[in-house]
Amino acid sequence: MKQLPADTVRLLSSCQVITSVVNVVKELLENSLDAGALSIDIKLENYGFDRIEIRDNGSGIKAADTDVMAVQHYTSKICSHDDLEHLATYGFRGEALGSICAVAEVAVTTKTSEDDVGTQYTLDLTGNVVSQKPSHLGQGTTVCALKLFKNLPVRRQYYANTKKCKEELKKVQDLLMAYAILKPELRLTLTHNKVVVWQKAKVSDHRMALMATLGPNAVAHLLPVHHQQPEIVIDGFFPRPGMDCSLASSSNPDKTFIFVNDRPVHQKDILKVVRQHFLAQYPADSALNRYPTMMLNITVPASTVDVNLTPDKTQILLQNKVPFSILLSFSLQTVAGDQTENTSSSSSSEDWIVNLNPGDFDLAFPQLEDYMASTGTGTTNSGTAKGLERLDSHDQGHDKGKDVEQLSAVSWSRGTALTDPSTGEPLQPVKVHLATGSSSDLGQVMAKGQSSPGKKVSNAITEKRAVLTAYDLINNRAMRTPLSPAALFEMETRASVLQEKPTARLQDISTAVQEKWKNLGEEDRKKYEDKAKKNLERYDLQTKLASDGDVREPERQRRLVSPLSRPQGQKRKVLPSNQPVLDQLFFSQPQKKRSPGPKPSQPLPFSVVTLRQRLHCLSFQSSPRPQGLRLVNRLASQSAWVVLCGRKLMLLNPFRVEEALLFKRLLENNILPAASLQNPIQLTDSILGGAEYTQALSTMEKGSPELRGMAVFSDPRLVANGFQITLTPGSSSTERHLEVTAMADCVPFLGMEDLREILTAVLHRNAKTVQECRPLKVTNYLQGEAVRLARQLPVNLAKEDVEDTLSRMQQQLEETSQACIHGQAFFHHLSDIPDTEQEAPCL
């Protein structure tokens, strides 16, 4: 046996950590979040296999740590294994950046708040720094990975399929959506091949983050979930009970977001509990393969969670899984209980748990400690132990304060649960005394009940029997009230539904039966309607015979009557019919009160518009007029805002303002990427326009010379416009060589005349900034980029975003430049607000 080389071991282990583009994005994204970044830009080229760039505005990497920042198992997150007990960061193994270096070409650019200038580091396969150079980027870190899986041709060939690449891009977007919901204050942008695919701005809370990520329609039916125990907090949003299944769920779990300690996870036990509570709200077939649209953020002690199971850290283990599942189940039941508490009056055990307050969770599960002790799950947490102590004291207080014996199921079934206080004997059922001469009828009824001992006994729970009316009891002839078609269907279907869901509540069973009745076919529905019609005809016939007093029992029942019930040879006396009196007593409908006639009214002259104008005038007279711009409201149809500035009421187009702000920022800060030229262009006086232009170019800022004496111009006025120029010194000024080695290829037809335009601005206009030296072609290109970026903004901007836009407009734009790139004004004057009643127009 031989020991594997170090580079082979590194490559094998890195292939397990970095398996796809989404793994690279996830590791680098979590590093940015650990650095406190609030703005992260992700740029991909060729679905990330040619280039992955992640830029953040975090704290950056200290200069003392840059030498080992990508070396395997070097990390600043933890110092020992004991630190995992109180882990507060996403990364902790020190493998991410080193594993990426083993399968791609990596360059890291970073700058801290203490650094004067940023530095770009180039790394090799082992994660060691091979070169470094200064960078113009601001505070934060930018990691660029090129040629992913360049040394793994089989894996790169696997992703050569376009379908696989699109699936990988979808996984990256789903990952960013999870962190966008988890971090409302985070700004995220995903760009693929220089096209913004998805973005999310900074929002105030989790609901707004869900709305920005999934849309307002998906969030409208979500209810907040909050449950707090000592050391355990459950927050999130769950679908409202009774919502349309297609709106509240999806066919795949990409909209079911579960977080544990602010970490997106795939935990089967938690997902199983969530799906069980969601499926219980709908019939079995409609939501069987659906996943609810929801978000749960669960916070537990770090010592009770093991996240070091898989390389991507999405699988976790919970120490106390069973009690945690019960707690989660109770939290979700509370959401449903809050919705049905006012409409449901049932007192089943499940409803009792739902209606509990969150603080009574421990009282609802007294068997929790015994279960954990018997299964060896471990010690309960402090919240559960305190709950069990309260339960013991609660039971002892009830035993001391009450001497009443609780009713047991056995005593109730035997009929000995209720006793007479005077005699101590069990209470007997109430006896109904029958009229004289009706003993034969009683015997017939008894014989009828004994005539078919093999008849199936009806179930009082699964079958709804017809209720006996007072008329039936008094007349001593029990007749079943005719049932409607829906009631007949429910009586036959209720037993099958209960067999499918033995633990379901009666209310859920009734809902399921009603749903099946709605989906029943026309032929089956016709069958139940015919059956109900026959029952109605039978009932009408029996009622008519009973009213005539000519009802005769069948011969079979007459033979079963005991001979002691009436003397031999004596005919039964037929009582006179009291049908009219009974109908008047039990079937008379109360007469509806006639609604009183319309009350007299008299129209009065009134104008809401005039009243509003007068109130406006009074308000302006009583209070000083606010200065500056103030938002009034949004016009949804025009995506514009009404703005009040002093006495002027104006209409604001925020997209024009954003377009101007983006253009100004691009003019000042945007750097055009320069592409190397195959044949460098030598600069002479004739090309530049004269010796004075060559002299002006030579005096511009240059970087430190290399070993051969060649220097590269680092002046931002040249670099930002996409020109890379080198200077090779000679023995005299005439022997110096100036060459253009790289130019920006994103601007069409960029050439030497644009370089001459830059030098003209430096010579004749004494231009000092990049904005003053922009050539016309570059300016037009940046205008197009500003328009493209402005069109990608959401259509409906929040009020906070518009206020921020106005604030930046007042700070960055001059009062004279109040128009967009196309010359359209930001504001459109509507009217002037009157200060006095005389100035108000009469309507």
C-alpha to C-alpha distance for 239 and 245, rounded to whole angstroms: 9
Helix segments in 549-642, DSSP class H: 555-560, 579-586, 608-622
Beta-strand relationship, 305-306 and 291-292:
unpaired
C-alpha to C-alpha distance for 296 and 328, rounded to whole angstroms: 10
Q: Write out the E strands in 285-414.
A: 291-292, 294-299, 305-306, 317-318
> Cβ of 31: how many Cβ atoms within 10 Å?
23
Map residue 232 onto helix, strand or coil. strand
Q: Going edge to edge, which strands form the sheet with 827-832?
A: 629-635, 640-645, 648-652, 827-832
Residue from 16, 296, 245, 10 nearest 126 by CA? 10
- The percent helix, strand, coil of the chain (3-state, each to 5) is 45, 15, 40
Map residue 530 onto helix, strand or coil. helix
Q: What is the DSSP letter of 565?
A: S
> Are the CB atoms for 741 and 719 separated by under 8 Å?
no
Residues 6 or more apart in contact with residue 340 via CB below 8 angstroms: 241, 354, 507
Map residue 468 onto helix, strand or coil. coil
Residue listed under structure tokens 């308000």 = 619
Backbone angles phi, psi at 727, to 5 degrees: -120, 125
Three state DSSP letters for 102-139: HHCEEEEEEECCCCCCEEEEEECCCCCEEEEEEECCCC
DSSP bridge pairs for 111: 140
Residue from 132, 259, 250, 245 nearest 184 by CA? 259
DSSP bridge pairs for 601: none
Q: Going edge to edge, which strands form the sheet with 118-123?
A: 129-135, 118-123, 105-111, 140-146, 51-56, 39-45, 187-192, 195-200
> Cβ of 659: how many Cβ atoms within 10 Å?
25
DSSP bridge pairs for 591: none
The domain limits of the chain are: 6-196, 215-333
Q: Going edge to edge, which strands form the sheet with 737-744?
A: 674-683, 737-744, 723-728, 711-712
Q: Going edge to edge, which strands form the sheet with 256-260?
A: 222-229, 232-239, 294-299, 256-260
C-alpha to C-alpha distance for 174 and 248, rounded to whole angstroms: 18
Q: What is the DSSP letter of 634?
A: E
Per-residue confidence (pLDDT) for residue 497, from 0 to 100: 81
Residue from 541, 553, 537, 550 nearest 577 by CA? 550
Per-residue confidence (pLDDT) for residue 160, from 0 to 100: 79
Residue listed under structure tokens 């977007």 = 173
Residue from 138, 134, 43, 110 nearest 668 by CA? 138
Residue listed under structure tokens 């999130």 = 236
Residue from 117, 77, 91 nearest 23 by CA? 91
Per-residue confidence (pLDDT) for residue 356, from 0 to 100: 36
Beta-strand relationship, 249-250 and 222-229:
unpaired
Per-residue confidence (pLDDT) for residue 841, from 0 to 100: 56
Low-confidence ranges of the chain (pLDDT < 50): 340-405, 434, 436-466, 468, 471, 550-569, 842-843
Per-residue confidence (pLDDT) for residue 373, from 0 to 100: 42
Map residue 503 onto helix, strand or coil. coil
pTM score of the predicted model: 0.43
C-alpha to C-alpha distance for 833 and 839, rounded to whole angstroms: 9
C-alpha to C-alpha distance for 750 and 256, rounded to whole angstroms: 49
Per-residue confidence (pLDDT) for residue 541, from 0 to 100: 83
C-alpha to C-alpha distance for 746 and 601, rounded to whole angstroms: 76
Map residue 698 onto helix, strand or coil. helix
> Are the CB atoms for 758 and 773 separated by under 8 Å?
yes
Burial annotation 459-473 (CB, 10 A radius, 16+ → b, else e): eeebeeebeeeebbe
Q: How many CA atoms lie within 13 A of 734 on its CB side?
A: 0
- Size of the chain, expressed as the number of residues it contains: 843
C-alpha to C-alpha distance for 208 and 808, rounded to whole angstroms: 23
Give the Å distances, CA to CA, from 482 to 167, 449, 477, 541.
Answer: 60, 21, 15, 12
Beta-strand relationship, 827-832 and 249-250:
unpaired
Q: What is the DSSP letter of 418?
A: S
The CATH architecture of the domain made up of 215-333 is 2-Layer Sandwich (3.30)
> Are the CB atoms for 840 and 621 separated by under 8 Å?
no
Q: Which CATH class is domain 6-196?
A: alpha beta
User: The tokens of 300 are what?
Assistant: 């537990």
pLDDT in tens, 455-481: 444 444 444 444 545 545 555 555 677
C-alpha to C-alpha distance for 27 and 148, rounded to whole angstroms: 14
Residue from 249, 239, 238 nearest 297 by CA? 238
